[in-house]
Chain A
Amino acid sequence: MKIEVCEVNKSFKQQQVLNQISLTIEGGRIFCLLGASGSGKTTLLRIMMGAIPADDGSVTIGGITVPNRQLLAEMGYMPQNEALYEELSAWQNLKFFAGLQRLNPKTFAAEAEALLQIVDMTACKNKLVRDCSGGMKKRISLAVALIHKPKLLVLDEPTVGVDPVLRRKIWHYLRQLRNEGTTIVVTTHVMDEVTQCDDAALLRNGHIIARDTVKNLIDQTPDGNIEELFFIDNLSEAEASLC
């Protein structure tokens, strides 16, 4: 599903968070939104999904203007914090969100089993979320976002607090989903994860300072380190000193 963000502005309490953002995300690719904390990544994601309205500008997903309720059925969202029900088990959380998505209860069990296998949570599926570790919650949260097989997957910092072995497994699965045609939008501030994605945009102080395929972006840097992109115009440090 192609996402088009068109001249979006957003401010909170007179502070401009997003400034004239225009962005096209091609369908069937893993797109990475890269930026320091506080650069407006989550705000942009929320506007893209229609959770909050933009001050000006518009967003369309697959040609449909956001917000749209039918669109939400094809979208899986994993927020930055876990956003799970602590008093429920992993299984019950999955079941609840599957219910909201109106999944067929008959096929639910098999699908949930398969999904828990991928995030390596089969053994503790009946454990209450409040007794789970941070990494486990993250995995359950990912499973919840995937339960209805969305065509568009929006993940806000999906691999924070996940160990390297599982991280590799998750990326492997995400690539597999992309190969099946799912569009995936990921935010991260961990630079080395960018290499796992197809395209990336760099967000700084509410502006997009670079947007290209990851391969091209890396080629632009002198030493293949994508972090260098943030310093490419030498503006970063000047802006940082303003704060």
Chain B
Amino acid sequence: MLSIVKRILGQMKNDKRSLGLLLFAPLLVLTLLFFILSNSNYVPKLAVYDMNEKFVAELENYATVIEETEKPEAADYLEANDVDALIWTDSEGTHIELLEKNSKSVAALESIQDTNKALHPTQNELIIDYVYESVGDNQLDSLSFVFLGVISFFFVFILSGMSFVRERFGQTLERMLMTPIRRVDVIGGYTLGYGILAAVQSVVIILYAVYVLQLQVEGSVALCTLVMILMAFSAVSVGALVSIFANNELQLVQFIPVIIIPQIFFSGLILTPIYYGCTALEMIMIQGKGFFAIWPWLAGSVVFIGVLFLANVTALKKYRRL
């Protein structure tokens, strides 16, 4: 098993281009996505009515503020004046009225949060309302963690699937199986070898996303990394399994729409590794949950990897009966 791990790492070391693609291509894709999806320098435009002066003064550090003397009708006002949020207070607390959930409204809310932080706020409760309540989650921002998971899954899937197809057609697999090696060791070596590469990739991606792209992570970055590594391991196993049904490299590529795309949209396929991974990532990154909240999802990933492992070991019987 160790021989296979060493061999895979040696192969990668000698194949600089594949290694570069494995490590840097995801970063490039992520960077492009973040440019498209986030307006990190966006200064929100806020309207306030009847707010105390200290609050307004502080808020002006983070946003463009318009002071209204009369309380306007939120929906029409926000749309007509291209304002991101309207803030006012009454006996219930501080109201924040926003148009819809998008990256601009997130920026607006962040500026208010920053203001509150700076002021060490009164116990005033924040009441957030959206004019257009969208179904489900905020789309753009919730996608950021999906992309983190999917991109690494995707690259690892292709890498492991392709190399397995190539082993079969270069007959190196047959040659490998004509030695006393056990099938468990073949799959174990494969999973571990590509798993290590995938884990390195995951760490690079998450560090890049958090420290270079400044992606907001509420929970622990280490926990995120753990989830990504688990996803990467399942990607290796899925790649190896799918390669058995592919008769050549082209067919493996043709499997991508079948295997990956439905998982991205979570279309009822609850039993998919991307679903487990992304749900856990969401809980950590957006909701700031800790290990004890997400362990069922982690356990799900581990079970998935185990099942795929056994499936692969069995499938290898096609090439040697022992």
Interface of A toward B, CB cutoff 8 Å: 49-51, 53, 67-70, 72-73, 75, 77, 79-89, 92, 96-97, 99-102, 128, 144
Residue B7 at the A interface, CB < 8 A? yes
Q: A51-B320, A69-B322, A101-B179 are in contact. Are A79 and B10 (CB under 8 A)?
A: no
Contacts of B70 in A (CB 8 A): none
Contacts of A73 in B (CB 8 A): 179-180
Interface size class of B (residues with CB under 8 A): 20 to 34
Please tell me which one of the listed residues A49, A87, A100 contacts residue B11 in the complex, with CB atoms under 8 A apart. Answer: A87
Please tell me which one of the listed residues B3, B171, B178, B182 contacts residue A99 in the complex, with CB atoms under 8 A apart. Answer: B3
Q: Are A77 and B180 in contact (CB under 8 A)?
A: no
Residue B181 at the A interface, CB < 8 A? yes
Residue B177 at the A interface, CB < 8 A? yes
- The residue of chain B having its C-beta at the shortest distance from the C-beta of A76 within the complex is B178
Contacts of B178 in A (CB 8 A): 49, 51, 72, 75, 77
A32 to B171, CA, bound (A): 22
Q: Are B3 and A83 in contact (CB under 8 A)?
A: no
Residue B172 at the A interface, CB < 8 A? yes
- The residue of chain A having its C-beta at the shortest distance from the C-beta of B185 within the complex is A100
Residue B90 at the A interface, CB < 8 A? no
Q: Are A83 and B174 in contact (CB under 8 A)?
A: yes
- The residue of chain A having its C-beta at the shortest distance from the C-beta of B178 within the complex is A77
A-B contact pairs, 20 of them (CB 8 A): A50-B320, A51-B174, A67-B320, A67-B321, A69-B180, A73-B179, A75-B178, A77-B175, A81-B170, A86-B170, A88-B7, A88-B10, A88-B11, A88-B14, A96-B4, A99-B3, A99-B7, A101-B179, A128-B14, A144-B175
1/0 contact trace for B106-130 toward A, CB 8 Å?
0000000000000000000000000
A89 to B12, CA, bound (A): 12
A150 to B10, CA, bound (A): 26
A99 to B1, CA, bound (A): 9
Contacts of B177 in A (CB 8 A): 51
Contacts of A68 in B (CB 8 A): 322
Q: Are A99 and B2 in contact (CB under 8 A)?
A: yes
CB of A91, distance to nearest CB on chain B (Å): 10
Contacts of A89 in B (CB 8 A): 14
A84 to B174, CA, bound (A): 11
Residue B6 at the A interface, CB < 8 A? yes
Please tell me which one of the listed residues A72, A77, A87 contacts residue B15 in the complex, with CB atoms under 8 A apart. Answer: A87
**Max chain A C-beta neighbours (<10 A), residue from B7, B170, B178:** B178
Please tell me which one of the listed residues B175, B179, B182 contacts residue A83 in the complex, with CB atoms under 8 A apart. Answer: B175
Residue B210 at the A interface, CB < 8 A? no
Residue B176 at the A interface, CB < 8 A? yes
Taking CB atoms and an 8 Å cut-off, the chain B residues in 276-322 that contact chain A are 319-322
Contacts of B171 in A (CB 8 A): 79-81, 83
Please tell me which one of the listed residues B10, B15, B172, B180 contacts residue A102 in the complex, with CB atoms under 8 A apart. Answer: B180
1/0 contact trace for B2-22 toward A, CB 8 Å?
111011001110110000000
